[in-house]
Amino acid sequence: MPYFTEKDMDQYQGAAQYENPPHIYALADNMYRNMLIDNESQCVIISGESGAGKTVAAKYIMSYISRISGGGPKVQHVKDVILQSNPLLEAFGNSATVRNWNSSRFGKYVQISFGKGGEPIGGKVTNFLLEKSRVVQQNRGDRNFHIFYQLCAGAGKNIRSTLGIGALDYYNYLNHSGVYKAPDTDDAKEFQNTLARQLL
């Protein structure tokens, strides 16, 4: 994606706010520097209407902080766990809607703890306000949560047999809206990615 490359990260790292155009990396850098210099906790609230890019903005902030915060192998493991928790949460809490193919149907509070040198040493994700009604009913043009489609598309023979998994259109909870595919999404591949992240 243009404007969100490593080169862009380098451009904003440690730069004064007036030196570059407004950018999510400028916000992330400012928060990180304030935390280090003032030794005070920082907070960012990302809000907006559906499809505005709140989830993506949060990912960019976490990716930026992960890149500039340094650290050794243990710190890298913490960074990996924090960054890789997003796709796992999205599988169980996101859905395709008419406005956004990867719409978060829950809120989340991400807390990252840092050591004295500014390296991430831990994190915690608290989710809330899950749209539970989506499990049993979706609007026309919407899908249920991604995990159901991933499971039906990507489960192997053993899992399908053990759980009695059939075709997507067999399930009342998945066939309400008539939408089974999300644009540019390979549910079978995403299921394998979700399984890989259960090791977190």
Quote the DSSP letter at residue 176.
S
> Alpha-carbon distance 199 to 111, whole Å?
20
Q: Is 19 annotated as a binding residue?
A: no
Whole-prediction pTM: 0.85
Q: Which fold has domain 6-197?
A: Kinesin (3.40.850)
pLDDT at 83: 86
Quote the DSSP letter at residue 33.
H
Amino acid letter, residue 141 = G
DSSP bridge pairs for 138: none
> Alpha-carbon distance 171 to 173, whole Å?
5
Q: What are phi and psi of 152, to 5 degrees?
A: -65, -35
Q: Is 54 annotated as a binding residue?
A: yes
Beta strands in the chain (DSSP E): 94-95, 103-104, 107-114, 120-128
Helix runs in 94-180, H state only: 146-154, 157-163, 172-175
pLDDT at 60: 94
pLDDT at 71: 82
Any idea which residue has 């990716």 for tokens?
63
Tens digit of pLDDT at every position of the chain (200 positions):
568 999 999 999 999 989 999 999 999 999 999 999 999 999 999 999 888 999 999 999 999 999 999 888 888 889 888 888 888 999 999 999 999 999 999 999 999 999 999 999 999 999 999 999 999 999 999 999 999 999 999 999 999 999 999 999 999 999 988 899 999 999 999 999 998 876 55
pLDDT at 120: 93
Per DSSP, the chain holds a count of helices (H) and strands (E) of 8, 4
Q: Is 50 annotated as a binding residue?
A: yes
Q: Is 55 annotated as a binding residue?
A: yes
Q: Is 52 annotated as a binding residue?
A: yes
pLDDT at 200: 57
Q: Is 154 annotated as a binding residue?
A: no
pLDDT at 25: 96
